[in-house]
Amino acid sequence: MTDLWNEINQWLPALDETSGMIVRLERNYVLCGFSDLWQRYDWKAALEQFRSDLRMFNVDETTR
């Protein structure tokens, strides 16, 4: 599990006041899946599916 956390931690985008909504959604999605979900599923593939779902529902930085 340490390897999984290290992999995710290296990917995690830093957050600051200029961070967009999409970055925050993706970051929260990945962190919420740790550790139970990502032990069973590939978090990178799941993140790509999440991004695809956001696009399908037209969620972007201008969505409120």
State the pTM of this model: 0.89
Tell me the mean pLDDT in the region 37-54.
97
Can you give the pLDDT at residue 62? Answer: 85
* DSSP classification of residue 41: S
How far is the C-alpha of 28 from the C-alpha of 20, rounded, in Å? 13
- By CB neighbour count within 10 A (0-12 exposed, 13-18 middle, 19+ buried), where does 30 fall? buried
Q: Is the pLDDT of residue 12 over 90?
A: yes
Q: Provide the residue ranges of all domains of the chain, joining segments of one domain with +.
A: 21-64
Tell me the mean pLDDT in the region 33-50.
96
